Structure 1
Amino acid sequence: MSLPQPVPPSWKDLGKSSNDLLGKDYPFQGFALEVKTNTPSGVSFKVGGSRDARADVINGDIEAKWINRKQGLTVTQTWTTANILRSQVELENQIAKGLKLDVTTSLSAEKNTKNALFNATYKQSGFHTRGALDLFKGPTFTADTVIGRDGFLVGAEAAYNVTEGNITRYAAAVGYNAPEYAITLHGLNNLNTFSASYYHRVSADVEAGAKAIYDSKSTHGGVALEVGTKAYLDPAAFVKAKINNSGVIALGYTQALRPGVKAAFGLALDTQKLNEVSPVGPSHKVGLSLTFDA
């Protein structure tokens, strides 16, 4: 008798370990601040702001989230500095075990635009599927499914335009997840773009990963390659480094200053343009991020 299979990751989380290793904790685009607080009544608040060093633009948002774990209900309201109001209502494990329903809406008062997205997620042993209906774009119905067994993963995604009656996008993926490493292959954009990602937990303190992307319709051709690593200096600090085949090196350093307070520093250097007058010119980037979680 075979053992029960774990719930596989969702479609968007295939290759997540490698994507997080190469994409997170590099705040070199400017300066960012995030403050999180929680109340005993189950309401949490998050205020975030960022300043783009290139465009000299400041963006921010304030989010309030109420969670009723007994009823499986979550309500989230977000208001941004672009005067966009977002609302999300989630209901989980109430109609059926493993089923999650949510409705997400957004309203832009300045541009007089609105969006509404209905989502359904169902996950069980060895099976994870999602469906989404975008009412104001098409309307378009998107569905994806991931099946997993003994670490092997197979997934597919498709988008269907209800008005035109045709499939507008499709993709597929295969992968293998083990406790120490993960491999994922994607065929995206109607199987015109292919990506391969690899993640390896070398030890308790060191992680490594790589990602290659090939676009069959790209005018430049070739494969975009990126490799990176993460090393813990101690339980409160870690460093990250990555480099791509365009010669751009990125460095990140994250330090927990005290419980609930975290600082991250990021630097990106274009090794092909190191002779620029400014050390942080058009080809080089530096940034800082502060997070307060009460």
Structure 2
Amino acid sequence: MNSGPGLFSDIGKKAKDLLTRDYISDQKFSLSTSTANGLALTSSATKKGGLSSGDVGAVYKYKNTLVDVKLDTDSNIATTFTVTDIVPSTKTIASIKFPDLKSGKLEVQYSHYHASLTSAVALSQTPTVDVSATIGTPTFVIGAEAGYETSSGNLTKYTAGISVNKPDSSASIVLGDKGDTIRASYIHHLDASKKSGVVGEITRRFSTNENTFTVGGSYAVDSLTMVKAKLNNHGKLAAVLQHEIIPKSLVTMSSEFDTRTLDRTPKFGLALALKP
């Protein structure tokens, strides 16, 4: 794929990932392994509240084709086929979940040095079509996204965004929810490895006249340990401690509580990901 402005979904993604990734409120165990011929096997179990769920999966990569199959405890089989460069600079993704045949989806991504285009069609009797596009460079990106429902002829969504990226920072503004919300974010990396950084995000919803401001950060204590924290103007404080116990295997502990109601029990999460 060509190096260019990236996909529309990449706008604001770095800041969003720092504020959301690894913040968990359940218990999860996952185990994955891979072979030299491109086959990767995974299994995971999750406990949330009093409910438990799990899945097993296999990912096989051969040349420009990737096949991902996952079976969960509800007997759903999710299958995704990804093929790169059927046509130069394109990626084609077909997905379906059995037994729900209406969940089928076909997506085509095209990337150029100064533009990208993504089109996704739901394979159902009343298909919906999602289209997004960006123009610019890796440094400056402007893009838009829209969803169209063929049965009613209505737009299900429309979003626009702009992003300015530098080697150590990124700023973005996204107008979404059919113009009802605007989100501005900024992330600044503090080291070359981009493991330590600070982020700020403000979201305004016009229909309710509500503002949400969130600040957060991550800090690499050493090469094996990282801590993260975030706080918003509604008093929600969360923290993450992640440690690499053996190469590529991580234990993650997370906690969240409301500083305005300290009598409530905080939420705790624990995840163990093993990669022998």
Instruction: Give the shorter-chain TM-score range.
Output: over 0.9
Identity %: 24
| Cα contact 2:5–2:140 (8 A) shared by 1 | no
| Cα contact 2:6–2:138 (8 A) shared by 1 | no
CA distance in 1, matches of 2:29, 2:227: 20
CA distance in 2, matches of 1:123, 1:51: 39
Change (3 A) 1:150 1:236: closer
Instruction: Identify which of 60, 84, 104 aligns with 1:92.
Output: 84
Structure-1 residue corresponding to 2:53: 59
Structure-2 residue corresponding to 1:79: 71
Structure 2: state its 5+ residue gaps. Answer: none
Match status 1:230 vs 2:221: no
| Cα contact 1:156–1:170 (8 A) shared by 2 | yes
Instruction: Identify which of 74, 79, 101 aligns with 2:92.
Output: 101
The CA deviation string for residues 165-189 of structure 1, in whole angstroms up to 9 with x for no partner, is 3322211001101111111101111
Instruction: Identify which of 172, 175, 178 aligns with 1:190.
Output: 178
CA distance in 2, matches of 1:50, 1:215: 33
Match status 1:206 vs 2:183: no
Instruction: Identify which of 286, 289, 293 aligns with 2:268.
Output: 286
Structure-1 residue corresponding to 2:45: 49
Q: In structure 1, what residue type is equivalent to 2:242?
A: T
> CA shift at 1:113, angstroms?
6.0
| Cα contact 2:102–2:123 (8 A) shared by 1 | no
Structure 1: state its 5+ residue gaps. Answer: none
Change (3 A) 1:173 1:137: farther
* Total equivalences in the alignment: 273
SS of the counterpart of 1:273?
coil
Structure-2 residue corresponding to 1:216: 206
CA distance in 2, matches of 1:169, 1:238: 37
> CA shift at 1:201, angstroms?
0.8
> CA shift at 1:10, angstroms?
1.2
> CA shift at 1:160, angstroms?
1.3
CA distance in 1, matches of 2:190, 2:123: 45
For normalisation by structure 2, the TM-score amounts to 0.94
CA distance in 1, matches of 2:169, 2:153: 41
Q: In structure 1, what residue type is equivalent to 2:78?
A: R
The CA deviation string for residues 9-57 of structure 1, in whole angstroms up to 9 with x for no partner, is 2111211110111001223x121111111022211111112111xx311
> CA shift at 1:6, angstroms?
3.5
CA distance in 1, matches of 2:90, 2:69: 22
Q: In structure 2, what residue type is equivalent to 1:48?
A: S
Instruction: Identify which of 153, 163, 177 aligns with 2:151.
Output: 163
Structure-2 residue corresponding to 1:248: 236
> CA shift at 1:147, angstroms?
1.3
SS of the counterpart of 1:96?
coil
| Cα contact 1:25–1:253 (8 A) shared by 2 | no
Q: In structure 1, what residue type is equivalent to 2:28?
A: A
Between 58-67 and 198-207, the greater mean CA deviation after superposition: 198-207
CA distance in 2, matches of 1:153, 1:193: 20
Match status 1:19 vs 2:16: yes
| Cα contact 1:49–1:61 (8 A) shared by 2 | yes
CA distance in 2, matches of 1:286, 1:22: 17
Match status 1:175 vs 2:163: yes
> CA shift at 1:202, angstroms?
2.6
| Cα contact 1:186–1:196 (8 A) shared by 2 | yes
Change (3 A) 1:114 1:140: closer
The CA deviation string for residues 232-259 of structure 1, in whole angstroms up to 9 with x for no partner, is 0111111001101111110101000111
Structure-1 residue corresponding to 2:27: 31
Between 201-210 and 60-69, the greater mean CA deviation after superposition: 201-210
CA distance in 2, matches of 1:35, 1:212: 36
> CA shift at 1:227, angstroms?
0.6
SS of the counterpart of 2:104?
strand
Structure-2 residue corresponding to 1:264: 252
Structure-2 residue corresponding to 1:141: 129
